[in-house]
């Protein structure tokens, strides 16, 4: 069986995985490396507030890591969909967070989409959005 080639999608997956390692480890230097330092960079976490511009994006992560304190968050992306056209790519999937606080753990499943741009031989995030899914409801069908 032939080994598949390492390609653009693999590079993008590597960047997404590096992002989740940085989040899990509350590693602000990792965030600095993974994100594009651009005025159009943006982040929209669960708070609903959108922050734009690299300094605001960095401030978001710095504040988020400080707010978490001793709370441990292990984050991974499941059901990852990766697409690229030229030097722009987007990643979507289910962000799985295992949150451990005061000895008890809970799991959060969020919808996530990120946009990346090719920078030299790698990829950097320019936009990230995570949100909770809408509550499941049975839809009544009118007859």
The torsion angle over the Cα atoms of residues 132, 37, 30 and 56, rounded to 10 degrees, is -50
Would you give the distance in Å from CA 130 to the centre of its chain?
Answer: 7
Rounded Cα distance, 104 and 137, in Å: 29
Whether the CA torsion 45, 48, 52, 57 is positive or negative: it is negative
- Measured in degrees and rounded to the nearest 5, phi and psi for residue 11 equal -60, -45
| pTM score, whole prediction | 0.85
Taking only the tens of pLDDT, the chain with its 143 residues reads 554 666 899 999 999 999 999 999 999 999 999 999 999 999 998 766 899 999 999 999 999 999 999 999 999 999 999 999 999 999 999 999 999 999 899 999 999 999 999 998 899 999 999 988 766 665 555 54
Rounded Cα distance, 96 and 80, in Å: 11
Quick one: which of 4, 1, 65, 2 has its CA closest to 29?
Answer: 65
């Amino acid at each position: 069986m032939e080994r598949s080639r390492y390609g653009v999608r693999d590079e993008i997956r590597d960047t997404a995985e590096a992002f989740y390692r940085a989040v899990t480890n509350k590693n602000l230097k990792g965030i600095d490396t993974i994100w594009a330092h651009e005025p159009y960079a943006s982040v929209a976490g669960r708070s609903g507030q959108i922050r734009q511009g690299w300094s605001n994006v960095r401030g978001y992560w710095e504040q988020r890591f400080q707010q978490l304190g001793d709370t441990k968050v292990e984050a991974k992306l499941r059901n990852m969909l990766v697409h690229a056209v030229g030097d722009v790519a987007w990643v979507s999937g289910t962000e799985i967070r295992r949150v451990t606080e005061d000895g008890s753990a809970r799991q959060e499943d969020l919808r996530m989409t990120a946009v990346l741009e090719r920078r030299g031989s790698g990829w950097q995030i320019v936009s990230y959005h995570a949100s909770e899914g809408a509550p499941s409801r049975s839809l009544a069908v009118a007859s």
